[in-house]
Amino acid sequence: MTTPEILMPAPMLASVITALDERFVLHRLWEQADPDIFLATVAPRIRGLAASTLAGRIDGSWFDRLPALEIVANFGVGYDNVDAGAAAARGIMVTNTPGVLDEEVADLTVGLLLATLRRIPQADRYVREGRWPIAPFPLSPTLRGRRIGILGLGAIGKAVARRLEAFGVPIAYHGRSRQAGVRYDYFDTPAALAAASDVLISIVPGGRTTRRLIDAEVLAALGAEGVLINVARGSVVDEAALVAALEAGTILGAGLDVFEDEPHVPEALRSMPNVVLLPHIGSASQRTRAAMGSLVAHNLTSWFESGRALTPVPETANMG
C-alpha cells in the first residue's frame, strides 16, 4: 500500500514533524524555494494536511488545490482558521486538539486575572526600575468581593470555574443555552452577564458567530470597576471599543492573551498602565504543546489506519 502523503504548510514542533516523518511522506511547504510551484507538483497526491494558525486560513481555495485531500488535522482546540463547513461539504475530515490543553489554559487564565487585578507585572517593573526605595508601590484592586462572569462555559470555562471556586468568589456564566447540572447562575446575554459581574472572562470559540461579541454595550455593562480577561480569540472583542472603554474609564482594566491582528498589538493597548498583555501563551507550555502535537499526529495516523479520527470537530463528527 502506498504511504499517504501529508502537507505541512507552516512549521510545527519538531516532535510533530518527527512523528509524521516516521509514518508518512511529509512535505514541508515553508522550506520550498517556490511554494506555489512545489504545491502544484505534489497537490494531486496530498491526502492529509497538518495545519496551524501559522498556515493562515484553510478554506475552499486550499481544498480546490488539493483534490485528494481527506483530512485536515489542526493544531489547537480552536479551529476558526479552518473552514470546517466547506470541508464537511466536500467530505474532508477536520480534527482539533481538545482536552489536552484545558488545564493549562485554565491555569494561565487565573494567573492573568490575578496579574491584572494585583498589577503584578507593573510591580515587577517598579522594583526593576529602582523606584521602590523612593516610594511604596500604589495599592492595587483586589479579587476579594468580586463577582466572576464566564463567557463560554465549555471544558476550559469549567476548569477556570473550578479554580476560582477555591477563591470563594461567586460565579455566573453565559453560553448558547443553560447547561443542565450547572449550579452557577445563568444569564441569557453577554451584556446581562457583564452587568452582573465585576470580572468578565472570555473563553468562547472564535469564528463568525462570536465575532466582536464583547462590544461597547457589553463593556459599558461591565462598568467602571469591571475587568475584562480574554483568553479566547482576539476576534471575540471589539478591540477599538475596548481601547475606548479603557481610555474613558468605562472599565477598570483588562488582561489580554489574544488580539485581533496577532502578533500586532495596538500601541494604545501597549501604552496603558491598567492592561496586562501576553503573547497568546494560554497553552504554551512545553508539556501541553507536545501533547497537542502528539494528538495531531495520532489523528492522522488513526484516519489512515482505520478511517476514523480521534477528535473530529462537530461539523465533521459524523464522517468516517
pLDDT band at 40 (very low <50, low <70, confident <90, very high): very high
Instruction: Report whether 218 contacts 192 (CB < 8 A).
Output: no
The rounded distance, in Å, linking the Cα atoms of 39 and 37 is 5
H helix or E strand, kind and range, residue 317: none
Cβ 48 vs Cβ 300: under 8 Å: yes
User: What residue ranges do the domains of the chain occupy?
Assistant: 5-99+287-316, 102-277
Tell me whether residue 233 is one of the annotated catalytic residues. Answer: yes
Domain 5-99+287-316: CATH superfamily is: NAD(P)-binding Rossmann-like Domain (3.40.50.720)
Give the phi and the psi of residue 76 in degrees, each rounded to 5: 140, 150
For residue 320, what pLDDT is reported? 65
> What's the pLDDT tens digit per position in 65-111?
999 999 999 999 999 999 999 999 999 999 999 999 999 999 999 99
Q: Pick the catalytic residue: 233, 260, 289, 315?
A: 233
**Which of 254-292 are b and which e, b meaning 16 or more Cβ less than 10 Å from the residue's Cβ?**
bbbbbbbeeeebeeebeebebbbebebebbeeeebbebb
pLDDT of 319: 84
Q: Give all strands of the β-sheet with 25-28 in edge-to-edge order.
A: 25-28, 5-8, 46-51, 71-74, 93-95
Which is catalytic among the residues 31, 225, 247, 262?
262
Q: What is the mean pLDDT of residues 8-34?
A: 96
Amino acid at 161: A
Tell me if residue 31 is catalytic: no
Q: pLDDT per residue over 278-320, tens digit each?
A: 999 999 999 999 999 999 999 999 999 999 999 999 999 988 6
Residue 252 predicted with pLDDT over 90: yes
**pLDDT value, residue 305:** 96
Instruction: Please confirm, yes or no, whether 298 is among the known catalytic residues.
Output: no
The fold for domain 102-277 equals: Rossmann fold (3.40.50)
Dump pLDDT digits (tens) for 139-154: 999 999 999 999 999 9
Q: Which three cell numbers stand for residue 88?
A: 464537511
| Fold match flag (5-99+287-316 vs 102-277) | yes
| Mean pLDDT estimate for the chain | 97
| Res. 217: pLDDT tops 90 | yes
Percent of the chain scored above 90 by pLDDT?
A: 97
Give the pTM. 0.92
